[in-house]
Amino acid sequence: MFVNPLLSEELFQYIWAFRLFKQDHLATTGGEPVQILYPGLHNHHGGPDFSAAKIRIGTTLWMGQVELHLRTSDWFRHRHQHNPQYGRVILHVVFVHDMPADRIPGVPCLELQQHIPKLLLQRYEQLRQRAPFVPCAPYAASVPPLTWVSWKERLLAERWERKLGVLRAWLQSSQSNWEEVCYWAVAQSYGMPVNTLPMLEVAQSLSYTLLMRCRQERLQLEALLFGQAGMLGQPPADEYAAQLQAVYAHLQHKYGLSPIPAHHWNWLRMRPAAFPTMRLATFAALLQHSPRLFPRILDANDITALEQLFFVQPSAYWRTHYRFGQAVGHTQLPGKQAVHSILINTVLPLLFLYGQQKQLKYYQEKALHFLEQLPPERNRITEEWEQLGVTQESAMESQALLQLKQYYCDEKRCLHCAVGIKIIGGI
């Protein structure tokens, strides 16, 4: 028998869970009236789809498991008749009943085809098939603000949990050395958006202890970073590059260092201020300017004090060069937006994690408070949301919308999104 092509099992389960069907005059295929008191808890593991359902069939109140299929015959296609896990199913819910009523002894069947609004199926398919920035582009601005507020809070928690998972792993591998983890995390953030991995490779190839030992000598510090970045292997382009090369050769031999391959770096389609050379030079300035950076992050009393830690200028050479041997009038130094990116993506999650690990809520609250004080990020994704009428008042909200785009919209997970659910249900 025909099954609406717009319907998937995932959507059918969603319709059942939220009772998005007409509930008047429901009856089993055998003619007994059905009343859905509670559809049950969705089971995402093995066994029937829903448990602890509460359903009246005829004059009897039943509590137990419910199994859903697009067709009645799917029960046999999935071989449930041989699986003891399905022996306590109280109701078999199908979209299309394509078998005799008594084919599954002891399990009444409820067909929902005539009770599901066709508009709901069409609305879901529109979301699934749309190819603009996000599937819900025409409707996003009409979703109630309260839905957006609660959903953004959940999205931020998801996004930070991903970041915290990485930081926890680093803590474990460093024997809970917070200063070392801070050094790795900040180094990685200096590579955003496309050079995070090679920046992290450089940082993890050089112990923080060694860098602090060499930090008093700017030339040594820069030689270590540029050398480990694989940028000193070519014939020197000028006197400065030759000095770095000579210093690095000595340090490389002394400490047994191995640089990362130079081809790991991305240079294309980026502003010169974001070149790997500029990021490494600025990172060297930060290490020289702020030894023991992590305690200073913990001590920052306001967002301005935290910002000031990262407003550093690279050495004189890098104020007139973007690459070795290529002089310009003056370089554009990393500005407030770059500093905010480091705070949002690295420093504040690290501060939050410290409070979590040490059971000091003060630092967790401070991290969230600082995030709320920072302006929203400005990039292609956040600007597209703005054009749809979905505003962002702080970095807290922009982080949530970045999470939404990457892990829900791009994957068309509309049934797992509070906004998508609201739209499918008719707002």
- The answer on 77 and 61 residing in a single domain is yes
- The answer on 390 and 368 residing in a single domain is no
CA distance 193 to 179: 23
- The answer on 272 and 397 residing in a single domain is no
Query: What pLDDT is recorded for position 205?
Result: 93
Q: Which of 373, 388, 413 is the last residue of a domain?
A: 373
Q: Which of 346, 373, 400 is the last residue of a domain?
A: 373
Torsion of CA 64, 68, 72, 73, to 10 degrees: -110
- The answer on 27 and 57 residing in a single domain is yes
pLDDT band at residue 137, thresholds of 50, 70 and 90?
confident
Asked whether residue 133 is domain-assigned, the answer is no
Kindly give the pairing relationship between strand 60-71 and strand 89-96.
Answer: parallel
Mean pLDDT within 253-265: 93
- The answer on 87 and 29 residing in a single domain is yes
- The answer on 228 and 91 residing in a single domain is no
CA distance 226 to 220: 10
Asked whether residue 289 is domain-assigned, the answer is yes
Domain residue limits at 98: 9-116
pLDDT band at residue 427, thresholds of 50, 70 and 90?
low
Q: How far apart are the first and last CA of the chain?
A: 32
- The answer on 249 and 263 residing in a single domain is yes
- The answer on 20 and 80 residing in a single domain is yes
Asked whether residue 415 is domain-assigned, the answer is yes
Share the mean pLDDT of the chain.
89
pLDDT at 166 over 70: yes
CA distance 136 to 160: 24
CA 120 from centre of chain? 29
pLDDT at 1 over 60: no
pLDDT band at residue 223, thresholds of 50, 70 and 90?
very high
CB 293 within 8 A of CB 183: yes
Query: What pLDDT is recorded for position 410?
Result: 86
CA distance 91 to 101: 13
More confident site: 1 or 398? 398
CB 395 within 8 A of CB 156: no
Asked whether residue 190 is domain-assigned, the answer is yes
- The answer on 215 and 270 residing in a single domain is yes
pLDDT tens digit sequence for 287-337 = 998 888 999 999 999 999 999 999 998 989 988 888 888 888 787 777 788
- The answer on 315 and 231 residing in a single domain is yes
pLDDT tens digit sequence for 56-111 = 999 999 999 999 999 999 999 989 988 988 988 999 999 999 887 667 778 999 99
Asked whether residue 381 is domain-assigned, the answer is yes
Residue 229 structure tokens: 């970045």
CA distance 188 to 194: 10
Count how many residues are written for the chain: 427
Q: For 197-302, where are the E strands, in sequence order?
A: none
Cis upstream peptide for 235 (omega within 30°): no
Asked whether residue 124 is domain-assigned, the answer is no
CB 327 within 8 A of CB 321: yes
Any idea what DSSP says for residue 334?
A: P
Asked whether residue 215 is domain-assigned, the answer is yes
Name the residue with tokens 């004090």. Answer: 305
| Number of domain units in the chain | 3
- The answer on 269 and 164 residing in a single domain is no
- The answer on 69 and 158 residing in a single domain is no
Asked whether residue 1 is domain-assigned, the answer is no
pLDDT at 370 over 90: yes
